[in-house]
């Protein structure tokens, strides 16, 4: 981490771990990835014709969001730990 990154992380960590996980893990990464995975795997397996009904699209969208919540929480927690570990290491010196 350089000085600019250290300052950025200091500002982020002041807002707290929960906000970081919600914003960076779930909102920015998890939900988009979850929706993409669900739709892509369905298209790959069943073809685009499978999405002929709005109900099917809505169900897959909700499933994608649920996957995204799980994936995003794990990713956000892991990312927080890595950034925090790096920040604490650099702050000591």
**One digit per residue, pLDDT tens: the chain, 93 residues?**
788 988 999 999 999 999 999 999 999 999 999 999 988 888 887 777 777 788 888 888 899 999 999 999 999 999 999 999 999 998 876
Tell me the Ramachandran region of residue 2: left when phi exceeds 0, alpha when psi lies from -120 to 50, beta otherwise: beta
Q: How far is CA 62 from CA 8, 27, 29, 65, 83, in A?
A: 33, 14, 16, 5, 31
> What pLDDT, on a 0 to 100 scale, did the predictor assign at position 16?
96
> What pLDDT, on a 0 to 100 scale, did the predictor assign at position 93?
63
Q: pTM for the full model?
A: 0.81
> What pLDDT, on a 0 to 100 scale, did the predictor assign at position 60?
85
């Amino acid at each position: 981490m350089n000085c600019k990154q250290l300052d950025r992380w200091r500002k982020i960590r002041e807002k707290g771990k929960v906000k970081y996980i919600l914003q960076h893990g779930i909102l920015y990464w998890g939900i988009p990835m979850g929706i993409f995975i669900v739709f892509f795997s369905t298209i790959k397996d069943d073809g685009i014709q499978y999405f002929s009904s709005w109900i099917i699209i809505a169900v897959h969208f909700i499933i994608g969001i649920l996957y995204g919540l799980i994936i995003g929480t794990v990713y956000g927690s892991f990312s927080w730990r890595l950034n925090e570990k790096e920040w604490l290491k650099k702050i000591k010196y």
